[in-house]
Amino acid sequence: MSSKPTMRDVARKSGLSIATVSRVINFPADVPAETAKIVTAAMAYLNYRPNINGRRLKMTQTSTIGVLVPTLANPVFATSVQGIEQEANANGLTVILTSSEYDPEREMGAVSTLLNNRVDGLILTLANADNNPVVDLLLAEKIPFVLLFNQPSRADIAAISVDNAQSAYDMATAMIAKGHRSLAMVAGQFESSDRSRQRYDGFCRALDDAGIAQKHLVQVRFGETDLVAPLADFLCGPEEVTGLVCSTDMLAIAAISACRAHGLSVPDDVSVGGIDGISVGGLITPKLCSAVQPTQEMGQQALAFLRGLIKGQTNPQSLLLPHHLSDGDSIGDFRRRSSTLL
């Protein structure tokens, strides 16, 4: 009485068998409407609630998927998880959420938890997609998974991202075309973001192709949002630059604050470009340019892809979403997109 009613209780109440109760829940079509009505009434009367854990134990599929992101404090990941959640909800899947806090060491633990839960598949954003023990484990255990935002070098791993190196290359090249000869890249730490490294590689290649030898790099620790000091040398010190290429929109926003703090007007005195999984944008004097790839949709895509893998209808494959440079205010777009109600 005090404890929750089970199928057994419903069966007793309705004078039918537990097997029949199970049928009206799972295969209503296999049961006469009359019978179904009796059972349904009993369920309602008892306030019955199927215990999904019983089902999970019995079935091979758990209808559960695991998600691992660095942090939800970054809107890029948060909105992608929102997309995953939406798509999961539409397909009767339950989402278990974990985060690594950008710490590669914590990834394995988080994934272990997920696997102990016997998730049907995983969607992950890892610090480093290559040479990652988590990836090896998943591959070995043949658990379906798709990487989100990571761009692994192996092509037979399921992944959804933009071309990180190329997008940075394009942005730097565009800034160079506008006349900039002295550029700095603002990036996250490579250990906790392979995207950063890939984008930096693209940045360097662009400068090489333009015959610019001097490459500046400002690396920012995760969580660091005050770029006033880190950028001092470049904005008003000896290494004066005229343009910044930022690894992410969030860094670009922070960089803009720093520019203003140093008395520079953006984008008049300095140009700032931010790259994201969602957007490749540059503040290029005198107009800003950007292109937005909604991360929410990327999340939905990732789950759709994962569902295909789980059903065995699809093969793992790396998907590169197109990126564009176009006119518009990248940062403004970003902000506007994020602007929702509390």
Partner DNA sequence: TTGAAAGCGATACCAG
Partner DNA sequence: CTGGTATCGCTTTCAA
| Site residues (vs DNA, CB under 7 A) | 3-4, 6-8, 15-20, 22-23, 25-26, 30-32, 34-35, 49-51, 53-55, 57-59
Site for a copy of itself contains 40 (CB under 8 A)? no
Residue owning tokens 């997920």: 114
What is the separation of C-alpha 228 from the centre of its chain, rounded to a whole number of angstroms? 28
Site for a copy of itself contains 286 (CB under 8 A)? no
Site for a copy of itself contains 251 (CB under 8 A)? yes
Site for a copy of itself in 56-85 (CB under 8 A): 56-57, 62, 67, 70-79, 81-82, 85
Give the CA radius of gyration of the chain. 25
Question: Considering CB under 8 A, how many residues would be counted as binding a copy of itself?
Answer: 74
Nearer to a copy of itself, 311 or 336 (CB): 336
Site for a copy of itself contains 101 (CB under 8 A)? yes
Site track 125-154 with a copy of itself (rule: CB under 8 A), x = hit: ----------------x-------x-----
Q: DSSP character for 142?
A: T
Residues 6+ apart with CB under 8 A from 12: none
Site for a copy of itself contains 273 (CB under 8 A)? no
Site for a copy of itself contains 259 (CB under 8 A)? no
What is the separation of C-alpha 107 from the centre of its chain, rounded to a whole number of angstroms? 15
Of the candidate residues 36, 38, 95, 304, the single one contacting a copy of itself (CB under 8 A): 95
Of the candidate residues 17, 26, 61, 89, the single one contacting a copy of itself (CB under 8 A): 89
What is the separation of C-alpha 321 from the centre of its chain, rounded to a whole number of angstroms? 14
Indicate which of DNA, a copy of itself, none lies near residue 35 (CB less than 5 to 8 Å, by partner kind): DNA
DSSP string covering 169-231:
HHHHHHHHHTT---EEEEEE-GGG-HHHHHHHHHHHHHHHHTT----EEEEE-TT----TTTT
Query: Alpha-carbon distance 124 to 97, whole Å?
Result: 10
Answer whether 160's CB lies under 8 Å from 298's CB.
yes
Site for a copy of itself contains 116 (CB under 8 A)? yes
